[in-house]
Amino acid sequence: FSRQGCEDLPWQYPAAGYGDGYPYQSHQRQPAAWQGDRDPRQGESYSKSYRDQHYYRGYHPNLATGPPGQDRTQTYGSYEGSYSSIARREGTGQGTLGSDSEEAGGQPKEPSLLLQYHESGLSSSSHELSQYIRDGADHYDPVLPGSWNVGRTGGPSGSTPTPAAPLKFPELHTALCFGAGGHLVLVCPQSPAKGQLHRVELHSLEAILHGTEELEELQAFPGPLAREDLHKVDVMTFCQQKITTGCDLSTQRGRDSSLLWKLLVLLCRQNGSMVGSDTAELLIQDCRRQDKYKRQDPVMGLTDDEWASRQPGTLDLITGEVPPVVETQAQIVEKFTKLLYYGRKKEALVWAMRNQLWGHALFLSSKMDPRTYSWVLTGFTSTLATNDPLQTLFQLMSGRIPQAALCCGDATWGDWRPHLAVMLSNKVGDMELNQRAIVTMGDTLASKGAVEAAHFCYLMADIPFGYFGAKADRMALLGSSHRQAFSQFARTEAIQRMEIFEYCQQLRQPESFLLPFQVYKLLYASRLADHGLPAQALQYCEHICAALLRRDPAAHPVLAQQVLRLAERLKLSDPLLLEMPEQDQAPEPDWLDQLRACCREWEVR
């Protein structure tokens, strides 16, 4: 087509976009800004004609509906007069498309939306989409084939019919997305050009995932535990169920995991407080069996000749008597006394040690020189088995790190629980030594892969929780090693167990919370939303917000922003909105406004 006597407008028509062969067509609308930004001087006739007739067919050529073989230039030719009038107004300064025109008052006139569309290189409908879909993954090139380009000073580049641009998708298909309200949204493949109506289906994720192990695990937990209507009996019942159904007591790791759940039950029952004897009783009850520790002969440092001269049936050169082979307790004590008659203290000590008279030997040696006392004491401890808990106690009372703390976890060593129980129940004066011994035992167990047992020791030593990225920290989630992959580390069970521990701390100190744990609460809330439980997820966001507002949210800006982002998507899932009258419903809860204000303040700062 030709435009004689007027300047051609530099329009560029984009290729096939979002509307070709896709159910999106019936959703396109005229931008609301057209009615406000239009210059009244253009006349109502042009406005109505453009809105009603030319918006989709003339301005967006790919939406023209005509016979398949019809040349698209015929469509544009039918609207030549409308575009020519616009060009004349632009050339004489009467139109609204010029960017240099001014209002009567001398103020620069704001460019119209048509000019904005032209300068952006997008069509009107594409420009509208760009205002709402800023982060879309589908970007298309607004530059079209040369046959559709109209130069600023010349006419069309070709007069031959141009083949239709390829469709964005080869065929109709179902579009879907996940909604924040716990729904799966499906847009069914319908063709509005054929008179078919659009159909949008909303499916509940909770109904779709019904019966899955992940959803049942989330529904069984009585969280969030910070709510006021929760009774601690419900938490204790949940822990007992985990012991019954989730711990294989035939394995060492299953017994260690069961021990952690039992500890949480004990903490919950006693409102977050406990003493060493309470934990020791729990450790002894959890022992599968009481090990029998074999006694050994005392090590006295005697030569073979000296030891043979003191065996039963040998002539005693001092008394001139042959001691009987089998002696009663009274005869043993009488022999000890007779040796002291002759002043033979060393022989009396050896006799008492060989016949298990450790009380006589220790008292006698304590009244002698320190070296002799140490010798008798070493002989006494040498009669105990290496893995005997008494060895652990005596070594700890001697001011040393017990050997059990360095060797526990081996199959040949035995159970680690009695050794920890004896250290917790019999703390020595040096509290630092006690803590160091327990932490060393935890480190040894962790190096052997017994994570639950190691974390039990760390809890007894009051080791704080750290972060997943800080590998030097000893704990990040209770019962889960942060040295493995994050998907294995941040399991739902580990997060639930950690929340119970935080709840037990709050029973003792209501305002306390574990700051490193809040990010895992956010992760748990996201999982709830993904499984169709948005109301419960929103409650978690509220409790995380309360914890952050007690501190400075600027100290954790990323966490605060992510909580705000998730809460804004879930805010309409608040059960309180359903109970309130419609006229009294607040657009957002107060805690969400406070969190948003803190985030904005941090951004400004």
pLDDT digits (tens, 9 = 90+) for 169-202: 888 888 888 887 788 999 988 877 788 888 889 9
Return the higher-pLDDT residue of 276 and 439: 439
Q: How many CB atoms lie within 10 A of CB 386?
A: 14
Q: Is residue 63 scored above 90 in pLDDT?
A: no
**Pick from 160, 184, 163: which is nearest to 174 by CA?**
184
- Cβ partners under 8 Å of residue 168, min gap 6: 16, 17, 18, 20, 21, 22, 138, 140
Span 566-596, pLDDT tens digits: 999 998 888 777 677 666 656 678 899 999 9
Average pLDDT over residues 139-168: 54
pLDDT of residue 197: 85
Span 453-510, pLDDT tens digits: 999 999 999 999 999 989 899 999 999 999 999 999 999 999 999 999 999 999 999 8
Q: Is residue 547 scored above 50 in pLDDT?
A: yes
Per-residue pLDDT band at 94 (split at 50, 70, 90): very low
Separation of alpha carbons 419 and 407, rounded Å: 11
Record the tokens describing residue 589, joined without a space. Answer: 């809860």
**Pick from 361, 374, 306: which is nearest to 333 by CA?**
361
pLDDT of residue 476: 94
Separation of alpha carbons 22 and 142, rounded Å: 19
**Pick from 417, 48, 570: which is nearest to 425 by CA?**
417
Per-residue pLDDT band at 320 (split at 50, 70, 90): low
Record the tokens describing residue 582, joined without a space. Answer: 């419609």
Per-residue pLDDT band at 142 (split at 50, 70, 90): very low
Percent of the residues in the chain that have a pLDDT greater than 90, as a whole number:
36
Average pLDDT over residues 240-268: 92
Given strand 183-187, what is the order of strands in its sheet?
175-179, 183-187, 200-204
pLDDT of residue 488: 93
pLDDT of residue 165: 81
Span 384-424, pLDDT tens digits: 888 889 999 999 988 899 999 999 888 778 889 999 999 99
Q: Is residue 133 scored above 70 in pLDDT?
A: no
Mapped to the 3 state alphabet, what secondary structure does 61-84 carry? HHHCCCCCCCCCHHHHHCCHHHHH
Give the type of residue at 318. I
Q: Is residue 204 scored above 80 in pLDDT?
A: yes
- The reported pTM is 0.66
pLDDT of residue 183: 87
Q: Is residue 151 scored above 60 in pLDDT?
A: no
Average pLDDT over residues 90-103: 41
**Pick from 512, 501, 523: which is nearest to 550 by CA?**
512
pLDDT of residue 2: 45
Q: Is residue 544 scored above 60 in pLDDT?
A: yes
Return the higher-pLDDT residue of 444 and 319: 444
E strand intervals along 125-237: 175-179, 183-187, 200-204
Domain residue spans in the chain? 199-230+513-604, 274-292+326-463
Span 362-384, pLDDT tens digits: 999 998 999 999 899 888 888 88
Q: Is residue 442 scored above 80 in pLDDT?
A: yes
Per-residue pLDDT band at 523 (split at 50, 70, 90): very high
pLDDT of residue 113: 46
Record the tokens describing residue 321, joined without a space. Answer: 């008597």
Record the tokens describing residue 445, joined without a space. Answer: 């167990």
pLDDT of residue 168: 81
Per-residue pLDDT band at 555 (split at 50, 70, 90): confident
C-alpha distances out from residue 249 to 257, 286, 450, Å = 9, 10, 15
Span 329-362, pLDDT tens digits: 888 889 899 999 988 999 999 999 988 899 999 9
Average pLDDT over residues 255-271: 94
Contact 193, 25 (CB under 8 A): yes
Per-residue pLDDT band at 22 (split at 50, 70, 90): very low
Point out which residues pair with 178 in neighbouring strands.
184
Cα-atom radius of gyration of the chain, to the nearest Å? 42
Average pLDDT, the chain: 75
